[in-house]
Amino acid sequence: MQVSMGDGGSGGGEEVLVNFQELLDIVMKLENIYKIHVDVIGTNIESLLSCDFYQKGEAMRVIEKYPDILHKTLELAEHYSRSATVVGNVCVEMLEKDEQLREILSKL
């Protein structure tokens, strides 16, 4: 389903065409990426954190940052989760607005 909308009053007067099914597909893809991060990457990162592979040498100060780097990688999962939620909320709002418009038009 494609939905044609105005520009929300920003003055450009251009039409915006939204493919609702594509939005749902995006939500699913973002959720899948989140699950991969949590289930696979998260598990492997925890395993990497417990490795003591580099014990001495010039790169020690870099290796000390290694846990921080791995935790930053885990933060990506939260961003994907938030993105999926935002796109999902857009879908819900579109459906609600569509229903409101349908009710208004049925009364005309």
What confidence tens digit (pLDDT) does each residue in 43-77 have?
A: 888 888 887 776 777 777 877 888 888 888 888 88
- What pLDDT does 28 receive? 95
Report which of 71, 89, 79 is spatially closest to residue 33, judged by C-alpha positions: 79
Tokens of 68: 């921080």
Q: Could you tell me which of 17, 15, 14, 16 has the C-alpha nearest to residue 1?
A: 17
Q: What percent of the chain has pLDDT over 90?
A: 28
For residue 24, the model assigns a pLDDT of 92
If one compares 54 and 80, the residue with the highest pLDDT of the two is 80
